[in-house]
Every structure is written in C-alpha cells, then in structure tokens.
Amino acid sequence: MSTPDGARPAGDRHLPVLLQRCVDLLAPALAEPGSVLVDCTLGMGGHAEAVLEQVPTARVVGIDRDTQALRLAGERLARFGERFTPVHAVYDEIGEVVAELGLDGVQGVLMDLGVSSLQLDEAERGFAYAQDAPLDMRMDQTRGETAADVLNTYDERALARVLREYGEERFAPRIARAIVRRREERPWARTGELADLVRASIPAAARRTGGNPSKRTFQALRIEVNGELEVLERAVPAAIEALATDGRIVVESYQSLEDRIVKRAIARGTTSSAPAGLPVEPETHKPYLEALTRGAEDADEAELERNPRAASVRLRAARRIRPTPDHLRTTARQTKEDRR
C-alpha cells in the first residue's frame, strides 16, 4: 500500500525507539478521560499511534516543524479523529501551543530528539552523508538557512566552533579551513562534495576508526541549521511548565550534548534548592519533579536487535509533584544569532 503521492505509508517507514517503554511510562498519567499528551517531535507518528491505541482515554497533540512529517503522520492517525491534533511549530513553543488549545496543563510530554527516520531516509533532504544531495538539512523546509548557506557564509572561526561544539570534531580547525578555501573556487551545494572534503581533511590514521569521518561534521551542521540545542534548552523547561501536577515527561536523546541538557533540567527539578544546613526545608525550595528512571536508560539487546537505530538512545523520565517555585522558573530565550 502507498500514499497518493507514491510514498510508503508512515507506519511502514519507521520503527519508533523504545516504543513500549515510552507508552508504559506515560500511561499512568493519561488514565483519566480527556488527558492530553503533547508529542513534541511527532515525526511519522509512531509513538502517538501507540498511545492512542493503548490508552483510549488519551488525546494527543502532535508538534512538528517538518510539514512532510505532519502530512504523513496525519494520514496515519486520521482514524483517531478528534483525539489527534497536529500542530506545525517548533517544540520550544509548547507553552504557546498548549495555551492556544485552551489547556491549563497537560498530563504527558514526549520528546524523541535528533533527526528523524523520514529525514534520514529522504536523500534529497541532505541529512545523510552516504548519499549525494543538495546541502539543505532544514527540518522545516519552509523557512531558515540551509547547510549550504552556513558553509558559504560563516567565517573560518565560526565554522570551526560549530564543528567543535556540535560535532565534537577534533579536526574542526582543519576542516573549517578547507571549507573556506574550497568555497573560494565555487560555492558549496552538494553533500557528496562535503563528505569528500571532510574525508580528505582528516589524517588517514584517524579515518580507520569511529565510522564514517563525515558523521560529526554532518551532525554539527544539522544542529546549527536547526538551532537544535538552543531549542532544546528552551523546550525542556517549557515542557515541564506545561505539565499539570502528576503529569509526566519522557525524553529520548541520541547524543551526549542533548542528554546533558535533559539531565540538567530534570536534576534541577528533582533537587532541593534550599541552602545547605537549613534546619527546615522551605516549601518553596522543595523538589518539583520526581525521577522515574535511575539516570538514563539504554536500549536492551532485544530492542537493539529489533531496531539498530536505538544503539545510542538515552531515555530519561520524570513526574511533576508540585508547581515550580517562582524563583526557579526559566524565562531566558537565547537565539542562535546570540551564539554566533
């Protein structure tokens, strides 16, 4: 079976990571009729579909910046009628989305971070270093600068910073220098050209281990183009603020930079903010979250055999136990331009 435009249906194209574990963590908070889960990274709707099937009391609001993903997920979830609401937005806008829907708070939030299977598998999107395609990498193709724009306009120092911070690339200065030198001849346009340059810029000895040498550069560009870490820094506190008491948040990360942000936000909520040595802990300094996982959970062998893309997943979950104290609310909004 295929969709009208010839593409395979979403359900045939994507196997969600730790699907049942996510549903099991969220389900207790969604038991009351009318409970709402916000799937902040809807993708092709795999996690949303499982919740809607297994938790008949739940509604799902699905947020995604990728219009193609919203269309495919909408087709997949149409059978659930008004129990599913798609929203075209970036997920750090969760507070605005919840308010516009007239909700005081939601009972569940799910984030499945990183690049989606749809984006990786569609060669023309430019996310995959193994296939030649235009250097795009935008999750929302309706706006914003492309990877080609970054490569053709950032100076050498800015490029090196992006590769070092977001790709943890130890040869960042060498690659950045080669990128700038190459664009003096002709502008950057194709992923294949970039993959070849990265390979040539890294010493032969370093290319023998660690997989494809382009992986870190492509990751860094994707994160920069989509402002992923800045969005996540805003999104996790905003998601926690959107939770009603007893609501639950579940986050799946796939690289250390993402997991560090999630870990920090959850630790802030599960730790007393009272100064050490006080005889009585003030109510306004008590933790407002309870951790539901011991640290971060990895995929087990059965999951890895079923879904190799689960190899790097780190899952964290927490439950809201009281409102966030006013002095701990996160209000700062830092843009990508501020960090360049």
Is 149 flagged in the annotation as binding?
A: no
My answer on whether 35 and 168 are in the same domain is no
Read off the pLDDT of each residue in 144-156 and give the average, rounded to a whole number. 96
My answer on whether 193 and 262 are in the same domain is no
Pairwise CA distance, residues 287 & 307, whole Å: 36
My answer on whether 269 and 189 are in the same domain is no
My answer on whether 242 and 312 are in the same domain is yes
In a domain, 48, yes or no: no
Read off the pLDDT of each residue in 9-18 and give the average, rounded to a whole number. 68
Pairwise CA distance, residues 184 & 166, whole Å: 25
My answer on whether 181 and 251 are in the same domain is no
Query: Mind listing the pLDDT tens digit for each residue in 186-225?
Result: 999 999 999 999 999 998 887 777 678 898 999 999 999 9
* DSSP per-residue letters across 1-63: ---TTSPPPGGGT---TTHHHHHHHHGGGG-STTEEEEETT-TTSHHHHHHHHH-TTEEEEEE
My answer on whether 103 and 238 are in the same domain is yes
My answer on whether 148 and 104 are in the same domain is no
Give the chain's domain count.
2
Longest Cα separation, the chain: 69
Most confidently predicted of 3-7, 56-60, 141-145, 283-287: 56-60
* Last residue in a domain, options 170, 197, 226: 226
What pLDDT, on the 0 to 100 scale, is given for residue 146?
95
Residue 334, pLDDT above cutoff 70: no
In a domain, 49, yes or no: no
My answer on whether 186 and 260 are in the same domain is no
My answer on whether 163 and 111 are in the same domain is no
Looking up residue 265, the CATH number of its domain turns out to be 3.40.50.150
Is 112 flagged in the annotation as binding?
A: yes
Give the HSE-up count for residue 182: Cα atoms under 13 Å, Cβ half-sphere: 21
What pLDDT, on the 0 to 100 scale, is given for residue 124?
66
Residue 1, pLDDT above cutoff 50: no
In a domain, 6, yes or no: no
Crossing angle, helix 191-201 and helix 172-183, to 10 degrees? 130
In a domain, 2, yes or no: no
In a domain, 215, yes or no: yes
In a domain, 188, yes or no: yes
In a domain, 105, yes or no: yes
* Last residue in a domain, options 226, 248, 269: 226
E strands within 56-177? 58-64, 84-88, 106-112
Pairwise CA distance, residues 271 & 293, whole Å: 15
Read off the pLDDT of each residue in 217-239 and give the average, rounded to a whole number. 95
* Last residue in a domain, options 177, 192, 226: 226
Pairwise CA distance, residues 69 & 8, whole Å: 12
Q: Mean pLDDT in the chain?
A: 88
Is 64 flagged in the annotation as binding?
A: yes
Residue 331, pLDDT above cutoff 60: no
Q: Residues 100-114, buried b or exposed e (16+ Cβ, 10 A)?
A: eeebeebbbbbbbbb
Contact 50, 20 (CB under 8 A): yes
Residue range of the domain that includes 172: 119-226
Query: Mind listing the pLDDT tens digit for each residue in 26-53?
Result: 999 999 999 999 999 999 999 999 999 9
Give the HSE-up count for residue 217: Cα atoms under 13 Å, Cβ half-sphere: 33
Instruction: pLDDT band for 116, please (50, 70, 90 cuts).
Output: low
Instruction: pLDDT band for 97, please (50, 70, 90 cuts).
Output: very high
Read off the pLDDT of each residue in 97-111 and give the average, rounded to a whole number. 96
My answer on whether 257 and 212 are in the same domain is no
My answer on whether 95 and 238 are in the same domain is yes
Is 91 flagged in the annotation as binding?
A: yes
Read off the pLDDT of each residue in 64-70 and give the average, rounded to a whole number. 91
Looking up residue 143, the CATH number of its domain turns out to be 1.10.150.170
In a domain, 312, yes or no: yes
What are residue 126's phi and psi, to 5 degrees? 85, 15
Indicate whether this model's pTM tops 0.75.
yes
What pLDDT, on the 0 to 100 scale, is given for residue 5?
45
Instruction: pLDDT band for 279, please (50, 70, 90 cuts).
Output: confident
My answer on whether 276 and 324 are in the same domain is yes
Is 154 flagged in the annotation as binding?
A: no
What pLDDT, on the 0 to 100 scale, is given for residue 196?
93
